[in-house]
């Protein structure tokens, strides 16, 4: 959602720059379009990073200093330790 918003703002500013009467107005609209494009790129990178963190499983889990390959192993070990 956020990258789409910034890309829309960038497109709007590019259109306004094209229709601007003075050189100063064109410069301002081009500057805003560039900034909105940068924000769109950053928002897209942030979104991809969040997806990557949420969707890629960890290959090692650390619980109380012990390394496990599956998250359930730590639970089994804790239950086994409690029985002793």
Segment 15-67, tens digit of pLDDT: 999 999 999 999 999 999 999 999 988 888 887 777 665 555 555 555 566 66
- Closest by CA position to 5, among listed 47, 50, 39, 49: 39
Do the domain assignments include residue 80?
A: no
pLDDT band at 73; cut points 50, 70, 90: low
Do the domain assignments include residue 72?
A: no
Do the domain assignments include residue 65?
A: no
Give the pLDDT confidence score for residue 36 in this predicted structure.
Answer: 93
Give residue 19's domain range: 2-55
Give the pLDDT confidence score for residue 83 in this predicted structure.
Answer: 45
Burial of residue 37 (number of CB atoms within 10 Å: 0-12, 13-18, 19+): middle
- Measured distance CA(27)–CA(60) in Å, rounded: 52
> How many domains does the chain contain in total?
1
Burial of residue 16 (number of CB atoms within 10 Å: 0-12, 13-18, 19+): middle
Report the DSSP beta bridge partners of residue 66: 63
């Amino acid at each position: 959602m956020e990258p789409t918003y910034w890309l829309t703002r960038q497109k709007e500013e590019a259109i306004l720059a094209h229709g601007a009467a003075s050189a100063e107005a064109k410069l301002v609209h081009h500057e805003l379009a560039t900034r909105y494009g940068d924000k769109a790129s950053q928002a897209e990178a942030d979104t991809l990073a969040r997806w990557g963190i949420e969707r890629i499983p960890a290959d090692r889990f650390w619980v109380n200093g012990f390394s496990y390959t599956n998250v359930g192993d730590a639970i089994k070990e804790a239950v086994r330790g409690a029985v002793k």
